[in-house]
Amino acid sequence: MKSTPELKRLTKEQLEHFLTEGYVIVKGLMTEAELQEIDAAFEAISHQTIPGHFEPDRSAAVEDPLKRYPRVMHPHRFNDTAKRFMLHPPIMAVLEDLYGEEALAAQSMFYYKPPGARGQALHQDNFYLQVEPGNCIAAWTAIDPATQENGGLLVVPKTSEHDIECPELADASESFTTHYVKPPKDSSPIPAIMDRGDVLFFNGNLIHGSYRNKTKDQFRRAFICHYANASAMRINAHYRPLFRADGTAVDLEVNPDGGPCGVEFQQVYPH
């Protein structure tokens, strides 16, 4: 499916940055009106309990802010706004440029990341999705500004061609997920500073993660979706079915490797 010509396309420089560095930030890809729709949808979800997708602990004794505001897994499976923005035409157009072919939507997530929340240790997304042949690409939309202080995303440039590594155990005091991938020698994570409405696209092998939200009064909300190339044949079962831009479902073969996107400490995921 060809994207409509009026949609923003990537420049030669943006494509080159993605190919060489493994990521690219597209400024202002989401409008304020669109962001307000996402605001409203996930504010409503934050007051609910949705088994298998969003199960907060609202007891007064809870000290970990991520217990009250855990991430929302696969909101596109129960919320029309989430599914619509997972298939948002401007995002699908950028993905088409990056893949050189149609993209298939595989997963959606929403992170509230409240003040004081732990980050997510450095990891690689295609360790979990196991898209073959090809790779997954993430579209990470900043719903709030992402800064070093509130735990914005960190990327390790030029690791997109780095092999998928078997992760080590992360530090539970700083990461809410168990896996940690050590950057290669002479490589270091850098902050992806983003304004509200910016979208960061990155390759499934790129090493990335985040630090703790060190602020006392700022959430760092993000709407994050993962995609596969249309020519892919296999993906982990956790991400099926996938969706074309027009919303029709696609079932790839099951790749027995992989799993949920980051296993949390003391949490068992339903499949």
Rounded to the nearest 5 percent, the helix, strand and coil shares of the chain are: 20, 25, 55
With a cut of 60, say whether residue 265 has pLDDT above it.
Answer: no
Q: What pLDDT score does 263 carry? A: 58
Is there a contact between 79 and 134 (Cβ–Cβ < 8 Å)?
no
Residue 118 backbone phi and psi in degrees, to 5 = -65, 160
Position 61 confidence tier, pLDDT thresholds 50, 70, 90: confident
Share of the chain above pLDDT 90, in %: 87
Show me where the domains of the chain are located: 15-51+65-245
Higher pLDDT, 254 or 257: 254
With a cut of 80, say whether residue 90 has pLDDT above it.
Answer: yes
Average pLDDT over residues 164-171: 92
Q: Which residues contact 30 (CB under 8 A, 6 or more apart)?
A: 38, 88, 90, 141, 197, 198, 199
Position 54 confidence tier, pLDDT thresholds 50, 70, 90: very high
Q: What pLDDT score does 45 carry? A: 98
- Rounded to an integer, what distance in angstroms lies between the CA atom of residue 210 and that of residue 212? 7
- Predicted confidence (pLDDT) per residue in 8-49, tens digit: 789 999 999 999 999 999 999 999 999 999 999 999 999 999
Q: Helical H runs in the chain?
A: 12-21, 32-45, 65-68, 80-86, 89-99, 126-129
pTM of the full structure: 0.92
- Residue 257 per-residue DSSP state: S
Q: Which CATH number fits domain 15-51+65-245: 2.60.120.620, 2.40.50.140, 3.50.50.60, 2.60.40.10?
A: 2.60.120.620
Rg (CA), the chain: 17
Number of helices and strands (H, E) in the chain? Answer: 6, 15
